[in-house]
Amino acid sequence: MAKALDTHIEINASTETVWQVLIDFSRYGQWNPFIRSIRGEAKQGEKLEVFIQPPGGSGMLFRPVILTLKPGGELRWLGRFLLPGIFDGEHQFQIEPLGHNRTRFIQREVFSGLLVPFLWSSLSRRTRQGFEEMNRALKMQVEQ
């Protein structure tokens, strides 16, 4: 069973500016209320160490692998709990130009695996809220 969360926000900045903030993992702790830290390099195939903290929830460390890295356009990773098929999350950040110095930032995740039906209520509430808080914080960080 697969379930998806999908959020987006419009940012008054170029796609390049949004991309530079998005892949500057070393600064996430300074502005990002949801993804508190990322360790590793922004390159395809790289294994990252990501610490997230959903609103009202406890923090979680996981080690996803970057599946796609298209500079200025898309960053996508796959994280797993224990073994494939138990609880997998394919996370995507997408950046779309909307015109001169206007960008749409899309953050989505597709969850799949045996545990999804049992965790969906919390995921759909807390994780969606975390995505939305991060989207707003990214907008503020880029537009300042």
Q: What is the pLDDT of residues 90-126, one digit of tens each?
A: 999 999 999 889 999 999 999 999 989 888 888 888 9
CB-based contacts of 63, cutoff 8 Å, min separation 6:
47, 48, 49, 50, 79
Q: What is the pLDDT of residues 5-52, one digit of tens each?
A: 999 999 999 999 999 999 999 999 999 999 999 999 999 999 999 999
Q: What is the pLDDT of residues 47-74, one digit of tens each?
A: 999 999 988 888 999 999 999 999 999 9
CA distance 45 to 12: 31
| DSSP summary character for residue 25 | G
Domains belonging to the chain, first-starting first, are 2-143 (3.30.530.20)
To the nearest 10°, the Cα dihedral for 41, 144, 93, 30? 50
